[in-house]
Amino acid sequence: MIGISLLTGIDEAGRGSVIGPLVVAGVTIKSEHEKNLRKIGVKDSKVLTPAKRESLAKKISELATNIVVLRVQPCHIDDFRAMGVNLDKIEAMKMAQIIDMAEGSKVYVDALTQNPKKFSNLIYKYLKNHEVDTVVKNYMDESVPVVSAASIIAKVERDASIAEIKQKVGVDFGVGYPHDARTIQFLEQLIKETKGKLPSFVRQSWITTQTLQEKAWQRKVKDFFIRKEDCIEEKA
C-alpha cells in the first residue's frame, strides 16, 4: 500500500433480483483509513443485519472522500438486454463509469463472474482512464475492507429502493428475488391484475417473469376451453 494515497472499492447489489434496480457503488478512502474501516466493523454486507448496514453506511460516509452510487432501473436493464447487452456487460459499463469518476490511485472490484480476468477485460473495454491500477477478483467483498464498504453502501441503497416500491404498491413482497415465495406470489397476482402489462419496477426480460407470464397465459387458455366445454354440455 506504500505510495497509494487513495483506495476505491466497487461492488453491487441486486444482480439477480426480479424486482427493483441493480445498484453499483464505489467508495473511495484515504489509504490510512483502511484500518478504520476494520475498526468500525465493516464486513461483507451479506453477513450483516439491515440495522447494522444502515449504521455502518453512515460511518463509511464520514470516512470516505468520495461515494458514487449508480442505479440501473429494471426498464433500462430490459432495454439493454433487448439490444443484446447482457448483465455482465451492463455491470462492467457501470463499474468502468465509477472508476472514471473515482479518484482512487488503486481500485478493487469484486468480480461478479467465475472468470475474473474476462470480467476485468470487459471493464477495461469501457474505461476511459486506462492508467488506474485496477484489481478484479472474486470475493473481494469478504477480504478487502473498502470493497466491503462498497457492498454495504450498495445494499443499503438497494434496500431503500425496494422499500419505496413496497410503499408505493402497499404490499410486502419480500426481497424481490426469485427464491422468495412472497416475491413470486406478488408477481403472479400482478400479472393477473395487469393482464401481463407489468410496471417498470419489474424486470420483464427475466426468465422468472417470462415463465410466470407463460403459466398465466396457459391457465387462461385452459379456463377458456373448460368454459367452452361447459357451454356445449349445457346445449346438449
Shared domain for 226 and 125, answered yes or no, is no
Distances (CA, A) of 148 to 22, 119, 178, 231: 17, 19, 25, 63
DSSP 167-225: HHHT---TTSSTT-HHHHHHHHHHHHHHTT---TTB-TTSHHHHHHHHHHHHHHHHHHH
CB 9 within 8 A of CB 27: yes
Domain holding 205, by residue range, is 170-235
Give the tens place of pLDDT for each residue, 134-145.
999 999 999 999
Give the tens place of pLDDT for each residue, 161-177.
999 999 999 999 999 99
Shared domain for 122 and 209, answered yes or no, is no
Shared domain for 21 and 89, answered yes or no, is yes
Residue at a domain's end among 167, 193, 217: 167
Q: Provide mean pLDDT across the span 24-39.
A: 94
Shared domain for 215 and 158, answered yes or no, is no
Residue that wins the pLDDT comparison between 4 and 118: 118
CATH number, position 200: 1.10.10.460
Whether residue 155 is contained in a domain is answered as yes
CATH number, position 12: 3.30.420.10
Shared domain for 152 and 198, answered yes or no, is no
Number of domains in the chain: 2
- What confidence category does residue 45 fall into, taking pLDDT thresholds of 50, 70 and 90? very high
Shared domain for 97 and 187, answered yes or no, is no
Q: Provide mean pLDDT across the span 117-138.
A: 94
Shared domain for 12 and 60, answered yes or no, is yes
Shared domain for 80 and 123, answered yes or no, is yes
Residue at a domain's end among 134, 167, 200: 167
Whether residue 1 is contained in a domain is answered as no
Shared domain for 94 and 142, answered yes or no, is yes
Q: Length of the chain, please?
A: 236
- What confidence category does residue 220 fall into, taking pLDDT thresholds of 50, 70 and 90? low
Whether residue 184 is contained in a domain is answered as yes
Q: Provide mean pLDDT across the span 86-114.
A: 92
Shared domain for 182 and 71, answered yes or no, is no
What is the pTM (predicted TM-score) of this model? 0.89
CB 18 within 8 A of CB 209: yes
Spatial strand order of the sheet with 106-110 comes to: 66-72, 22-30, 6-13, 106-110, 133-137
Whether residue 110 is contained in a domain is answered as yes
Whether residue 85 is contained in a domain is answered as yes
Shared domain for 139 and 175, answered yes or no, is no
Shared domain for 81 and 19, answered yes or no, is yes
9 closest CA partner among 93, 57, 56, 67: 67
Q: Which residue matches cell numbers 482512487?
A: 104
Please tell me the distance from the alpha carbon of residue 48 to that of residue 46, in angstroms, as a whole number: 6
